[in-house]
Amino acid sequence: MKKNKYILLIAIVCLTTMQLQAQNKAKSKTPAFKNPNRFCSTIQPERKSMPLDTTISRAMADNYYLWDNGKTLTVKFIGQGGSTKLREKIKVAAKEWEKYANLTFDFIESGEANIRVLLTDQGGCNSVVGTNALSKESDEKTMNIDTNFFHQNKICYDRYLNQTIQHEFGHAIGLLHEHSYKGKIQWNKETVYKDAWDKAKWDKNMVDFQIFMQYESLYTNGFSYDPLSIMHYGYPAKWTANNVEIKSNFTISEMDKATVKLLYPKTEARLNEFPRFIVTNFKPTKVVKNVERKGLLIYPSFNLSTAGRVGTIVLVAYLLDEAGNVVAKKNDPDKAVCGILSGKLQPGLKASINKVKQEYEIYIPFSDFPTNQQQYNISFRVYLIEKEKNERKYLAGDFISQNQIKQ
């Protein structure tokens, strides 16, 4: 996923003061956003993604990014990599998930596809999680398969191929790393850091994100830790303080099967439903200096669709200094200079935000600017918020430089 350094900014939005009351009716084309008290706490950095095994957030399954139950997912190989024989093997391996999940993989030769697989000889093996694929450009890969990995294991070629494909397609349907289950592994961190650097050139940040990151029970869907999961990394005993080894798993485990049966049931409705918001067709954010209104007017532009159940969307624009730091308010250094729109949205919505006309506006008054602020940039973010679960999901964002801001 392409990101600049500003994409690492994230707001801890204090929803208790925001009084999110805006409502819209299902299937409405004009969602109602409310401009609450413009209150943002101090911003903290957050690493959003890593180059290898690229998943934005990690756990056992991310219910916010599940596909609609019963959906046929179109899959297409992009580029010229991989022989016909290899592609057929990948199709067979991926379709193993169809036995347990109420999903179908339809491999197509042309046209737009939900999942786009690049077979290459570099970049590792990685995939975006679930419906995050829809947020990428229609010709951009959503899964990278580095075939060097198979060729380095010639004796067990098919075994490693099946393992890798089923792991990555597990991510593609919403599954996340099993070793992120909170409190189950006693890592010997210094040994892992050293081995990961020596063998894969993973730095500390990469290891922290891919291996050590842990998640709350929100993501376990009621299942216990499964060391046999196809979504679990294998590692040697020296990587743990209690000398426990996890061997590589080459098949979809019984608990993997139970998990996807719960997430994508074949005979009943999905029980553990979350709000699922998708932002697509994200266009450059327009920012205008308005002398009469004495502030910045910010007009984001994207398409929005909602599914699952009711959820709250928050649009936030932050003022950044030239170094990329969030600017504090002139009269309140504990709060950021920002503007907010929010709305509680029903499932079934399909809306275009500021595509035809500028209906949705974020306002930042000049009176909030520090007196010494000469040059500045804007970081715009879209979040899905669940106040009850203390959960915040990044959906999309944009960076607007000073020279892009219109007078």
pLDDT classification of 98: cutoffs 50, 70, 90: very high
pLDDT tens, 131-149?
999 988 889 999 999 888 7
Instruction: Report residue 116: phi and psi, to 5°.
Output: -120, 115
Query: What is the structure's pLDDT at 49?
Result: 28
18 and 88 both lie in a single domain:
no
Query: What is the structure's pLDDT at 59?
Result: 34
Cβ within 8 Å of residue 388, ≥6 positions away: none
Query: What is the structure's pLDDT at 53?
Result: 36
In a domain, 58, yes or no: no
Query: What is the structure's pLDDT at 287?
Result: 93
Mean pLDDT over each residue of the chain, to the nearest integer: 80
- Which amino acid is it at 243? N
227 and 329 both lie in a single domain:
no
247 and 367 both lie in a single domain:
no
178 and 115 both lie in a single domain:
yes
Final residue belonging to a domain, choices 263, 289, 314: 263
Query: What is the structure's pLDDT at 157?
Result: 82
Final residue belonging to a domain, choices 233, 263, 293: 263
Average pLDDT over residues 90-111: 97
Instruction: Give the domain CATH number at 158.
Output: 3.40.390.10
128 and 257 both lie in a single domain:
yes
343 and 244 both lie in a single domain:
no
In a domain, 269, yes or no: no
How many alpha carbons lie under 13 Å from residue 30 in its C-beta half-sphere?
Answer: 5
Residue 199 clears pLDDT 50, i.e. is over it: yes
280 and 259 both lie in a single domain:
no
Final residue belonging to a domain, choices 236, 263, 290: 263
Give the H/E segment covering residue 341.
strand 338-345
Residue 14 clears pLDDT 70, i.e. is over it: no
Query: What is the structure's pLDDT at 111?
Result: 94
Residue 273 clears pLDDT 70, i.e. is over it: yes
Distance CA 58, CA 181 (A): 9
What are the C-alpha distances in Å from 365 to residues 185, 256, 399?
49, 51, 19
85 and 136 both lie in a single domain:
yes
Distance CA 202, CA 183 (A): 23
247 and 281 both lie in a single domain:
no
pLDDT classification of 55: cutoffs 50, 70, 90: very low
52-66, 189-203, 295-309, 349-363: lowest mean pLDDT where? 52-66
Query: What is the structure's pLDDT at 32?
Result: 66
In a domain, 12, yes or no: yes
Query: What is the structure's pLDDT at 18?
Result: 28
What are the C-alpha distances in Å from 31 to residues 13, 354, 376?
21, 11, 30
Query: What is the structure's pLDDT at 153?
Result: 65
Cβ within 8 Å of residue 194, ≥6 positions away: none
Q: Which residue has the higher pLDDT, 279 or 11?
A: 279
Query: What is the structure's pLDDT at 29?
Result: 53
Percent over 90 (pLDDT), the chain: 42
In a domain, 268, yes or no: no
pLDDT classification of 11: cutoffs 50, 70, 90: very low
122 and 253 both lie in a single domain:
yes
Residue 400 clears pLDDT 60, i.e. is over it: yes
Query: What is the structure's pLDDT at 150?
Result: 72
Q: Which residue has the higher pLDDT, 340 or 62?
A: 340
Instruction: Give the domain CATH number at 279.
Output: 2.60.40
156 and 246 both lie in a single domain:
yes
In a domain, 93, yes or no: yes
Residue 115: give the domain boundaries.
63-263
In a domain, 144, yes or no: yes
Residue 126 has what DSSP assignment?
E
27-41, 72-86, 163-177, 355-369: lowest mean pLDDT where? 27-41
Domain count, the chain: 2
In a domain, 56, yes or no: no
pLDDT tens, 240-271?
888 988 888 899 999 999 999 999 999 998 98
Query: What is the structure's pLDDT at 33?
Result: 59
Query: What is the structure's pLDDT at 407?
Result: 58
Residue 298 clears pLDDT 50, i.e. is over it: yes
Count the helix, strand and coil residues of the chain and give each as a percent rounded to the nearest 5. 25, 30, 45
Q: According to the per-residue pLDDT averaged within each range, which of 92-106, 109-123, 188-202, 233-247 is highest?
A: 92-106
Query: In degrees, to the nearest 5, what angle opens at C-alpha 330 toward C-alphas 3 and 292?
Result: 85
Average pLDDT over residues 341-350: 92
Distance CA 94, CA 167 (A): 9
Longest Cα–Cα distance in the chain: 73
Residue 26 clears pLDDT 50, i.e. is over it: no
Distance CA 56, CA 313 (A): 18
345 and 381 both lie in a single domain:
yes
Strand 143-146's sheet: what is its strand order? 104-107, 72-78, 115-120, 143-146, 126-127
Residue 38 clears pLDDT 90, i.e. is over it: no
Residue 99 clears pLDDT 90, i.e. is over it: yes
Residue 197 clears pLDDT 80, i.e. is over it: yes
In a domain, 54, yes or no: no
